[in-house]
Structure 1
């Protein structure tokens, strides 16, 4: 058993490695008493196809467990390459075995553009996922795209609050935040997740569940986004990252490089009482500290 440091957290590592074309190596960061109640896991795959297969297994298993326990599965999506990496959920066996009628779909962030706009995360999800499996249309909660970013964020939070009251979305037992069954996030080369960008004031938002920005450094400028308290209240959070362009940032976040400097948003994703899993292809993981992956 090894020990690995994530900032001030020291935890035992269980290392797994399989050789071959279908290789996947992973290490689980187990909790130490009084340090962190739930584990973190980092999974590294030979390529995006293998990552996509395991991601489908992961989501399907969480869906089954949530439906069995609560009768619903409340999941929040992001944009970028995430939807294409979820594509195997549209194939057998998942297309037939997942209880799609029990899914409630939300967006962890959205661009304030028309739903048929090329930049719309809703359009991306509709074209790549929602139109291919039997979701219940009334369970798909996209933003109001006819109002300002501020009003869209306000309206979206109202919808979520209504669904928390009816327990479609659970509520955190340590705050009043919604407790999504799963939040799926990508990560940009700058370390942003959802529409939470480095050094942006919304990183400090503690009261609102959904907020807005009008100055995104990445176009389009107007967006709504879940705040960090909501993300960190989820039962499960998965961060999915592929490609060498993000390798340096993955290294900074996971290896906890320069811990005294302001945190990248991705490093601030730390579920309070939930599970965090990183899904990486080998290119995204290529700059991780190799000593932490050896026995």
Structure 2
């Protein structure tokens, strides 16, 4: 269990947030390419793909440090809904429309790792989860030699109930210790059938970033950061497990009234 505290960054609006999210992601990219010449990231859905696109597709200064090398990226999904890839609820479709389809050709194309849609209509999403775990194993070496996959960066959102990925408050999946990818059939938020990275995988990442914006988040942010009762919320569990590896990128309305100290980049 990590002991150091997460970093909480707050900005006047989404444009200022995106302007700081870009160098953060590109620093993670540079470190990953220096380590193993590939950048393995996981992303969630919601408003995150739009924020990521705003950050990465903005004009840069032309320097190598300020240029996404998308041809070296392997993008996985922190969670996904058991729906076809062209379904409106698909996180893959959301990322494709917001980011992947808009990347200029000269920046290269990332390798995306969507779910196997042949199994989205299965009664039980366990096979979908097993196949996705096998995809991770191919990318992160055989499971018997790697206890957990170590992502270079995981980008997450925060739900109004404090959930992240498809890890929901009070759910049994929060106690999963062995699987890399878990199935969920009873999501309290539709659609009910999903797969998700497990908490140990999320907190094992080298860098973990949340993006949370809007005044609708301020109550749950107070719970996550300021209250003892909020310590069992999934987002708070990521904070506890990841410690200083965790960075929150928020706008001012999302953290209005939150007393947890702000960090500066």
Query: TM-score normalised to the size of structure 2?
Result: 0.87
Rounded to whole Å, the distance in 2 between the matches of 1:118 and 1:248 is 28
CA contact (8 A) 1:110 1:143 kept: yes
Among 73, 76, 80, the residue aligned to 1:106: 76
Cα RMSD after superposing both structures: 2.4
Consecutive unaligned residues of structure 2, counting only runs of 5 or more, are none
| 1:162 alignment partner in structure 2 | 138
Alpha-carbon deviations, 1:174-228, whole Å to 9, x = none? Answer: xx11100000000000000000011111111111000011111111111100000
Consecutive unaligned residues of structure 1, counting only runs of 5 or more, are 1-33
CA contact (8 A) 1:232 1:274 kept: no
Aligned residues: 249
Residue 190 (structure 2) pairs with residue 224 (structure 1) = no
Q: Note the C-alpha offset of 1:130.
A: 1.0
Please give the secondary structure, in 2, of the residue aligned with 1:86: helix
Rounded to whole Å, the distance in 2 between the matches of 1:120 and 1:94 is 33
Give the structure, 1 or 2, with the largest relative contact order (CA under 8 Å, sep 6 or more).
2
Residue 26 (structure 2) pairs with residue 55 (structure 1) = no
Residue 107 (structure 2) pairs with residue 140 (structure 1) = no
Q: Higher strand fraction: Structure 1 or Structure 2? A: 1
CA contact (8 A) 2:181 2:196 kept: yes
Rounded to whole Å, the distance in 2 between the matches of 1:232 and 1:97 is 27
CA contact (8 A) 1:52 1:86 kept: yes
| 1:126 alignment partner in structure 2 | 96
Alpha-carbon deviations, 1:84-122, whole Å to 9, x = none? Answer: 111231232289821111100100000111111111000
Q: Note the C-alpha offset of 1:40.
A: 2.3
List aligned pairs for 1:177-256, cutoff 5 A.
Answer: 177-255=148-226
Q: Note the C-alpha offset of 1:53.
A: 1.4
Q: Highest Rg: 1 or 2?
A: 1
Q: Note the C-alpha offset of 1:136.
A: 3.9
Query: TM-score normalised to the size of structure 1?
Result: 0.78
Q: Higher helix fraction: Structure 1 or Structure 2? A: 2
